[in-house]
Structures are given as structure tokens and as C-alpha cells.
Structure 1
Amino acid sequence: MLVIRPIKETDYPALLQMAVGSGIGFTSLPVDEPLLREKLAHSIRSFASDIDHPGDLHYLMVAEDTETGEVVGTSAIDAAVGMASPFYTYHLGKVVHASRSLNVYNVVETLTLTNDYTGVTELCTLFLQESHRQGQNGRLLSKCRFLLMAEHPQRFNDSVIAEMRGVSDEQGRSPFWQWLQDNFFSVDFPTADYLTGVGKKEFIAELMPKYPIYVNLLSKEAQAVIGEVHEKTRPALRLLEAEGFCKHGYVDIFDAGPTVECPLKLIESVKHSFKVTISIGTPKDGSSEMLLTNARLQEFRACVSHIELDSSSQQAVISEQAAKALEVSAGDSIRIGALRFEQ
């Protein structure tokens, strides 16, 4: 069984291993020891903080295999992006060039550099080792964040976003960045991605075009990937779309991957999750497999397990294995949610 919990100091070696394995384009896990250690420490401070509003807080969780004790995945929430350093995105818009006298009317797409998402909550750092990409593990790792936000909504912004990884090849070459590199930056995509991941974003303001970019001036290869996701990211995008997330014309400044967003209160797992009081036993045959969380913060735990549910009385039976994973006892309340929502 996989259990999701807040990261702790002893998880650093596993965090570093996952940063190496996540590859180029996974900006939120750069292979940089000081930054990873600060990210870990920032998360520990965030979970321990006593606040009632969003702020510069980072909640980093890991997936632990309870049979082996191995840490095999990460999942995180940034409560309010852009508070410590600028959060850049491109917005895809339109301008019209028209002449009534010449009977000319042209609509041209543009990319404009913005900080429009400053202060919103971001889902980030979702990574699962290939050895555990099976069953409901991916859904658990992604969706547990929604139940955490449902239980503690005051800690998060009313709007939630997720930046989806854009198109790049196995060597980390991005068609979109290649055009920017050739014309403005003169540094390759892996270097730019790494610098951003370690917080050295000054070069963006210094070298990024100050005016809107006309999309039709980009190379055909760059135009083709605007708003498209990396093939390995498609399952994550489908899951978020089923939760109510959609595109609003914002794309990443490096690989042009789409940003999707949804109001917190309209996220399906937030809307439909609810709390029940538990007893511990053996759920009957035919019981539902659901996402379970212990409804705490600093000692947050989440897992997937079968549960015998009596909705009318808000009572439920969970197994001893699930109770141990969640660190709960009979009579405690847990928050539960569905594993799937159909689009």
C-alpha cells in the first residue's frame, strides 16, 4: 500500500534521487542540493505553521510504500505563487490589423509576458517512480492534494492552477525554446530550465522580449507545440480536466506547455469529498474503493482502500491496514473522496 505523508528530513536522499529521475523540464525538482534541502525545510515549516490565510508556504508530500518503507513519489502545493520571486507566464491573445479602405482584416495571435497568476495556489512537483505507476497510485498522489485543500481551505487561494509540462525530446530540446534561444537568449533549454528551478530568474526579465511576440513569426515547429503537453503528461492533464480544470490561454515561458486552472470550490474532489466517523473491521464484499485522508495537517496521511460506507449516518468501516496507514482509531473522523469523476 502507498501512503502519502508530509516530507521529513530523513527523506532527503530519496528526494534527490527523484530529482535526478524526473529529468529535464521538471522545474520544481532541480538537481541542486542547497535548493532541495531548503524546499524540504520550507515544507516542514509550512506544515507546522499556524495561519489562517494563503502565504509563501509550500506543502511537499511523499509517497511511501508501506511494505518496503521506500519513498517512491512526490506531490506538492504552493499556497501562493510569486510572493518570493516573480511567477512568469505567457498569455495567448489576439490583435487585429485592419484597413477598411484596403478591405484587409487580419487577426494575429500574440504571446504576452505576464505575472497574472501572482498569489494563486499551484499544484506542483507530481512525480512517481516508474516501478509504482500502476493501479490507483497516480490518482492517490495527485488527488490527495484536493482533500487536503478541502479540509483546510483558508490556507489556499480561491483559484488553483497547474503548469503542465510542454513538448520536448529525450535530450531536453524544446521546439518553442529553440526559437527563443536563437533570437533572444543564447542559452539552451536545460540551462534555462535549471536556472529557473534554482530561483535564478533574473535573466528572464533581462532577456525576455518586452513586447508581445507575434506567433506567426515563430518557427513552424515552435507554433505547433504552443499549448501542447509532453506525452508523459497527458494522463495528468486528463485527470485534472476531469476535476474541472481547463485552459485559459496561458502557457509556460520555456516550453509553451499549458497552464490549467479551476476555482478551488469548483474542483470536483473538493466539492464532493466529505467526512465520516469510522469503525475498524472488515469492509463487506462489494464495498467501494475510495481515497481516504485523516483530515489532519502536520500529521496528514492519505491512502486508497476499500470502505464500507453508510452515507445516511456518516459512518464507515475501514480495514486495520487502512487505519494503520492513516494513523487513526475507531471513533475518529476521516475525509473521503471518489477516485474518478467522469468528464
Structure 2
Amino acid sequence: MLVLRPVELTDLPQLQQLARDSLVGVTSLPDDSEHLRAKIAASCESFANPAQAQGPENYFFVLEDTEQQQLLGCSEILATAGYKEPFYSLRNRHFTSASRELNIEHGVPALSLCHDLSGHTLLRGFHIDAALTRTPFAELLSRARLLFIAAHAQRFSDAVITEIVGYSDDNGHSPFWEALGKHFFDLPYAEAERLCGLQSRTFLAELMPQYPIYVPMLPQSAQDCIGRIHPDGQEAFDILEREGFETNSYIDLFDAGPTLYARTANIRSIAQSQMAVAQQRTLIDARGRYLLSNDELQGFRAIIAELDYQPGQPLTLTPSMCVALNVTAGSPIRLIAL
């Protein structure tokens, strides 16, 4: 059975392999054992923290095949983007100029460095084994984070964002980076993303131009990248779009990938998830597929299961489902149909 759970220190070797296989641009998953060890330790502290308010915590989840004891994916929630340092983005908005004498008014799209999104909760670090793409387990890896937010709402912002990896070719070449960022850092795109993963984007962002960048002055190849999704990032985008996330006027400052935004209370898996009380039986007359989780903190677990769920009635689970969720008869279960 595949189970989503909080990361543990013993996961480091397998987690580093996931990092090696992850998409360039997933900066929160660098291939560096010491950095990953520190991330795991920080996540363990976050799950152990009894805080009842939003703070700097980072919650790191892994998707495990419990029979094979193999990690097949990972994802994260950063409770507060920009808690310790600004969370930089590029704001893409029209700049309007006018001439009374000539009776001309003209709008030009311009990119401006900003940290408007600081303070929002950030979903990041989504990576899943290639064999599981476009399967319900990708939904588990992404959406179970939302059930965790629903269970511990006081720890998170009233708005959630995520950055989708922007376009780069098979060789890791980003036309947007080549046209803009490379002029300020003289680094290949992949190396810039790696440095951001190991340190932070702040030291690079602070070297970016502080004045608006007029989009028509960029090469067409770079303009075409604005808001464009890397093909391997499309699934992450599609899942969250179905959850009610929408693109806005912000893009990633390195590859121009889109930023998705949603009010926390309006996210489908948060607004429409339901609570039921577990009961255990050996056989289930399954009538639908559901994403379900317990409401624990350190002991959080989530799975996908075929169930017969009737609102207001106890939720029947098999013994193996109860073990996977670490629950017993009478335990509260949060669920939503896939």
C-alpha cells in the first residue's frame, strides 16, 4: 500500500535519490546530503512543534510503498513564505504611459521584482516517480497536503500559493534565464536553481534589476516563456487547478513559470472534505475511490482507498487500511472523493 507520511531521518538515502531524479527548477529538493539532512531535521521539528499559530515551519512529506519500503515521491508545505527573508517573485503587470499633446495612451507589460507573496503558505517540492505520473497516487501526494492544512488550519495562512516549474529544454536551457538572469549572474540556469536550493533565492534576487523590465524588449523566445509550464510540471498544475487554484500576475524570477493562488477556505479538498468515524471490517462493498487521512500531526497518514461511504454514517475500513492510517475503531477520519 502507498502511504503519505512525514519524512524521517532514515529516509535520507532514498530521498537523495529522489532529488537526483527531480526536475530542474524544483529548488526545494537539491541533490546534497547535508542540506537534505538539515531539511529533514527541520521538518521533524516542525511536526513536533505544538504551536497553535502560523510560523516558519516546513512540513516535508514522503510517499512510501510500505510493502517494498521504497519512497516514490515527496512534497512539502512551507507554512509562511518569506518568514525570515523576503520571498521574491516577478510581478507581471501593464505599465501605462500617456501623452496629452499627442492624445496617446499606451500600455506595455512590465516585470517588476517584488515580495508581495511573503506571508502566504507555500506548496512546494512536489516530485513523484515517473511510473506513478497521471495516476491517483499523484493526487495523494499533492492533495493530502491540503487535508493536513484542513486539519491544522491555525498553522497556515488564509491564502496558499505554489510556483510551477517554468519551461526549459532537455538540456536544462531556459530562454527566459538566458535573456534576463544570466546577464546579472553569468551562471547557467540549472546552476542558479541549484544554488537557490542550497542557500536561498534572496542573494540572487537582490542582484536582479530593481527597475521594471519591459517585456517587449526581451527576445521573443523569452517572452514566450512567461507563464509557460515545463511539460513535466503540467500534472502538478492540473491537480491544483482542479482544486480551485488560479494563475495570477506573478511569475518565477528565474524561469518565468506561473504562480498559482487560492484562498485557503475555497480550496476544494479543504472546503469539501468531510469527517467520519472509523469502524473496522474485513470486507467492504466498495462504491467509490477516496482520499483519506487521519487528523494527527506527527502521526499524520494519508492513503487512497475504495470505500462505501455514506455521509453521517461510520466509515468502514479494512484492517490494512487502519494500519496504514494508524487508526483504530472510533478514530476520526477526513476524506474526500477523488
- TM-score range (shorter-chain normalised) is over 0.9
Unaligned runs of 5+ in 1: none
Contact 1:283 1:306 in 2 (8 A): no
Whole-angstrom distance in 1 between the partners of 2:60 and 2:207: 32
The residue type paired with residue 164 of structure 2 is M
Equivalent residue, structure 2, for 1:254 = 254
Contact 2:88–2:201 (CA under 8 A) maintained in structure 1? no
Matches within 5 A, 1:158-237: 158-237=158-237
2: CA distance, partners of 1:162 / 1:293: 22
Cα distance in 2, alignment partners of residues 80 and 280 from structure 1: 38
Identical-residue share of aligned pairs (%)? 40
**Would you say how many aligned residue pairs link Structure 1 and Structure 2?**
338
1:326 is aligned to 325
**Residue 27 (structure 2) aligns with:** 27
| Aligned pairs for 1:145-164 within 5 A | 145-164=145-164
1:285 to 2:314 alignment = no
CA deviation after TM superposition for structure 1 residue 119, in Å = 1.4
Matched residue type, 1:211: Y
- Is this contact kept in 2: 1:308–1:318, CA < 8 A? no
- Which of 40-49 and 169-178 deviates more? 169-178
Root-mean-square deviation over aligned CA pairs: 1.4
Q: State the partner residue of 2:144.
A: 144
Secondary structure of 2:30's aligned partner:
coil
Gaps in structure 2 of 5+ consecutive residues: none
Matched AA of 1:111? L
Once residues 7 and 262 of structure 1 are traced to their aligned partners in structure 2, the CA distance between those partners, rounded to angstroms, is 26
SS of the equivalent of 1:207 reads coil
TM-score, L = length of structure 1: 0.95
Query: Alpha-carbon deviations, 1:279-305, whole Å to 9, x = none?
Result: 111454342210110111110000000
Q: Distance in 1 between matches of 2:322 and 2:300?
A: 13
Structure 1 residues 1-343: aligned runs within 5 Å: 1-133=1-133, 135-282=135-282, 284-311=284-311, 313-339=312-338
Cα 1:104–1:283 shift into 2, 3 Å: farther
Question: How many angstroms apart in 1 are the aligned matches of 2:52 and 2:167?
Answer: 38
| Cα distance in 2 for residues equivalent to 1:177 and 1:102 | 37
User: Partner letter of residue 40 of structure 1?
Assistant: I
1:275 shift after superposition: 1.0
| Conservation of the 8 A alpha-carbon contact between 1:283 and 1:308 | no
For the 8 Å contact 1:73–1:127, the answer to whether it is kept is yes
Rate the CA distance shift 1:217–1:328 in 2: closer, same or farther, 3 A. same
CA contact (8 A) 2:181 2:208 kept: no
Runs of 4+ in 1 over 4 A off after TM superposition: none
Shift of 1:162: 0.6
TM-score between the two structures when normalised by the length of structure 2: 0.96
C-alpha distance in structure 2 between counterparts of 1:107 and 1:51, whole Å = 47
Counterpart CA distance in 1 for 2:60 and 2:182 is 36
- Name which of structure 1's ranges 174-183 and 13-22 shifts more when overlaid on structure 2: 174-183
1:269 and 1:338 in contact (8 A); partners too: no
